[in-house]
Copies of this chain bind each other. A is one copy, B any other.
């Protein structure tokens, strides 16, 4: 019997890797999309390719977006610095690493692709627990997007509905990592840092590095990725 198809948004980070493993565990055949939007950490795309190979993704499309439409600290030559050593617990403002409507755009690509190939499930590795407060990572956003997706597509309108799946949404980073280890994910293939050194070494100090490092510590698992050389062994 043919497996059920699903579309996966694959960034190259540990959340989308864990989401891939969860979706595969549920029996889906995965079709993945990865985006270049001028991100300073475009090395994550190399991680996405390795992960697509690791997970035997059926088809992996890398999509190049027009960089000039994104104003964000994550984008090269934006003139905005990636903030370092923020405390996401106390600094609750949405940081300048926010990318305007990023998940909306990525999900919309996934929706076009899913309807075209006959998939109805779309997996995204968003989390709303250990995160930077981005509006497009919250449960109420996904619920609203899902409703809109079913209202604006032929399949959805006919009752053959889409299902936006964000299985990590309510998990702590340490729980995500523990889950991924259970599922035998090779996290050395993943990249999380927003602002890596030229050789790809993560800075250790941006939101993404900090959340990852704390997550591995809390899970009691060694992070296979090594940080800023100044920093020694993590």
Taking beta carbons and an 8 Å cutoff, which residues of A are in contact with B?
61, 63, 66, 68-72, 94, 98-105, 107-109, 111-117, 135-136, 140-141, 144-145, 147-149, 151-154, 156-157
In the complex, which residues of chain B have a beta carbon less than 8 angstroms from the beta carbon of A156?
135
Closest 7 interchain pairs by CB?
A: A100-B115, A71-B116, A108-B108, A69-B113, A101-B112, A136-B152, A101-B111
Q: Are B66 and A61 in contact (CB under 8 A)?
A: yes
In the complex, which residues of chain B have a beta carbon less than 8 angstroms from the beta carbon of A136?
152-153
A21 vs chain B, min Cβ distance (A): 24
Q: Are B151 and A141 in contact (CB under 8 A)?
A: yes
Among B101, B103, B105, B151, the residue within 8 A (CB) of A135 is B151
Q: Are A100 and B104 in contact (CB under 8 A)?
A: no
Cα distance, A129 to B140, chains bound together (Å): 32
A105 vs chain B, min Cβ distance (A): 4
Given contacts A141-B152, A147-B144, A148-B144, contact A108 B101 (CB under 8 A): yes
Cα distance, A72 to B153, chains bound together (Å): 13
